Structure 1
Amino acid sequence: MGRGRPVEALILTADERGYLERQVRRHRVTRSLSERCRIVLRCADGMQSKQVAAELGLSEHMVGKWRRRFLHDRIDGLLDEPRSGRPRSIDDDAVAAVIERTLQTLPADATHWSIRSMAAATGHSHTTIRRMWNAFGLQPHRAETFKLSSDPLFVDKVRDIVGLYLSPPTHALVLCVDEKSQIQALDREQPVLPMMPGMPERRTHSYVRHGTTSLFAALDVATGAVIGKCYKRHRATEFLDFLKQIDGNVPDDLDVHIVMDNYATHKTPTIKAWLARRPHYHVHFTPTSASWINQVERWFAELTRKQIQRGVHTSVGQLEADIRSFIDRHNANPKPFRWTKSADEILAAVRRFCQKTERTLCTEL
């Protein structure tokens, strides 16, 4: 005959399981509550207390304690009981007044509130204001930019280009084409001091310009390989020459789908005539003010971060040589960018943002 007390089965409702899983995923939940939720979820999966303790690195006594607490009080049993201590000196109304003032007013001498200016205006300490703002996720010192496309064909173009990324046509090549213009060859007025233990790399804020170059690039969506060439200018003449370079690197039996923006250089009569003579070329224009949909912009960001931003170049020739070297190294082991959002998901996100913006404007009016 077996020994020990029988263990009562722990069965969760759908709402309880959903709540527990949300607490485990949340970043701002206390570690203790997240740990208790994990214990209950493992027990609900039929695991014994000894197994749960071994998996989570806890004592068997602790697992049994929170299992019993949950069986007795359900979700409420996982929460900490009120503890003795000094009562709150700031009630909910005072907190609500600070949050409302933060969201709806501005200081007379600044464009946004700071912790100390709000503390001076409300009479609370700056640490109290900090705790209130942290609790509500408020950061008045931060600001982000946005721009919505006003292209009347925005929906159609998004579906067209995202469709190319997620389901490219067979026996075809999809290239994202654009130019990064006016790349400056910058030299520092004084030598760069290298990084040392406990000290970052240091450079002067002032610089000397040695000219500019413009990079035309085409990113192969399937492989991640890049065709690139630098020019002194970025006119239709240079763009046509770059298209010819692309044509020379593409097999004649493949259709070529080019994704590019609405820059005037891309739509001159010369460019249109060149493309018209090649029916296997298909152009897909991105929506206006939507450069994020062109994957080559992501590669330009890599080029800027890894090669240009902290580079020191004493001539345009040196800058162009570094860019060519970067392209060669990239193409030696190319990796494509993985597009994850469907057109429906993108359009739904834009719709939610527009609705949120509209509600904000209506509130202000």
Structure 2
Amino acid sequence: MANSPAPALVLRDGDRDELVSWTRSTTIRAGLAVRARIVLLAAEGIANARIASEVGTTTVSVWKWRNRYIEAGLAGLADAPRAGRPKRVDDERIITATLTVPPKKYGVTHWSSRLLAGHLKIGNATVARAWRKYGVQPWRSETFKFSTDPELVGKVTDVVGLYLAPPENAIVLCVDEKSQIQALDRTAPMLPMRIGDVEKRTHDYKRHGTTTLFAALEIATGHVTGAVKPKHRRQEFLSFLRQLDRAYPEPELHLVMDNYATHKTPEVKDWLDKHPRFHVHFTPTSGSWLNLVEVWFSIIDKQAIRRGVFTSVKDLNAKIRQFITGWNDRKHAFVWTKTADEILMKANHKPTSETRH
């Protein structure tokens, strides 16, 4: 009978401490901890019905785990292997479906783990595991643009050569403009950062006009020569060139610039012809990222402009000048590491992607 009293269970040497540790563990499976309690209570001579009541199971289950322990010891308390073929997750099917555009009936541009799981009739956790395993991230998207410049190789080689091996007794300046910088003033005072709380500002703002920042980055030292102008025309660019002429009166100057039309007007060309110590090196079309001053522009944007509050264009210009002064006090060299061959090899993307796994 299942409810009949049973003799006290005799534990094998050393098993008591192990069973006690199972009952106290916070990481062991709950079922295994229950079985350990059953065996320990049985070893104290407690009746099967009372054991079943204490651990919340049936007397049939108590008999089962007593007998399993008698037959195989601690190993007998583990789950027995289940019959049948183990479940197989088809990662190839998941990834292939992920790389395929979702059917029109879903009306979406890319898969989510739950949508794909429902489409394939599997669990969304299974889809997520396959994505992590193969590094597939459908929710992410990036932009790209190929340069169609017929002189791409020559221009990349020229500019990178300046960075990696600048001419002796000469200075390399990366020159560009950051135009249409807005003087934005918030509609309410900003709430400063506090312990446990981030800085807050209103989502709406007042516009007070725009300005253009002309900058020349000296890559060997990180020094920046800057000027703020109301507009972005050849007149302002020529004025900035004259400023560079005064700032660097003696050495040869190699200017890295993009192909913006203002940089190639007849007036600018005439001025450069009259100042032969200025040597211009153009980046490829759609390749202004080769210009290191773009890195500095991102720094001033993040540290001084994006979260700034400006009550007027005059205030904006003053704070830009203030940042440049502070930057030049703590400046550092900008070091280029990629060779021209490495850049050109990476730029030569394959037109299609392979889906074999």
Same fold (TM over 0.5): yes
**Residue in structure 1 matched with residue 143 of structure 2 by the alignment:** 145
**Residue in structure 2 matched with residue 318 of structure 1 by the alignment:** 315
CA drift at 1:84: 8.4
> Which stretch of structure 1 is more off in the superposition, 121-130 or 146-155?
121-130
CA distance in 2, matches of 1:105, 1:308: 40
CA drift at 1:251: 2.7
- CA 1:200–1:274 in structure 2 vs 1: closer, same or farther (change >3 Å)? same
Q: After superposition, what is the alpha-carbon deviation per residue over 1:77-99, rounded to whole angstroms, capped at 9, x for unaligned?
A: xxxxxx9877986414x332221
**Residue in structure 2 matched with residue 304 of structure 1 by the alignment:** 301
Q: 2:347 aligns with which of 328, 350, 353?
A: 350
CA distance in 1, matches of 2:313, 2:207: 10
Q: After superposition, what is the alpha-carbon deviation per residue over 1:274-313, rounded to whole angstroms, capped at 9, x for unaligned?
A: 1001111111111010111000000000000100111111
Q: 1:265 aligns with which of 262, 276, 279?
A: 262
Secondary structure of the 2:352 match is helix
CA distance in 2, matches of 1:306, 1:169: 32
CA distance in 2, matches of 1:186, 1:90: 59
Secondary structure of the 2:310 match is coil
CA distance in 2, matches of 1:84, 1:340: 58
CA distance in 1, matches of 2:252, 2:231: 29
**Residue in structure 2 matched with residue 229 of structure 1 by the alignment:** 227
Letter in 1 for 2:258: D
Q: 2:352 aligns with which of 317, 339, 359?
A: 359
Q: 2:91 aligns with which of 70, 91, 95?
A: 95
Q: After superposition, what is the alpha-carbon deviation per residue over 1:55-108, rounded to whole angstroms, capped at 9, x for unaligned?
A: xxxxxxxxxxxxxxxxxxxxxxxxxxxx9877986414x332221111123143
CA distance in 1, matches of 2:186, 2:85: 56
CA distance in 1, matches of 2:248, 2:237: 17
RMSD: 1.9
**Residue in structure 2 matched with residue 106 of structure 1 by the alignment:** 102
Letter in 2 for 1:122: L
Normalised TM-score (structure 1): 0.72
Residue pair 2:101, 2:109 contacting (<8 A) in 1 also: no
**Residue in structure 2 matched with residue 49 of structure 1 by the alignment:** none
CA distance in 2, matches of 1:179, 1:84: 72
- CA 1:90–1:310 in structure 2 vs 1: closer, same or farther (change >3 Å)? farther
Q: Which ranges in structure 1 are unaligned for 5 or more consecutive residues?
A: 1-82
Aligned length: 274
CA distance in 2, matches of 1:173, 1:263: 22
Q: Which ranges in structure 2 are unaligned for 5 or more consecutive residues?
A: 1-78
Secondary structure of the 1:204 match is coil
Percent of aligned pairs sharing the same letter:
53
Normalised TM-score (structure 2): 0.73
Residue pair 2:102, 2:110 contacting (<8 A) in 1 also: yes
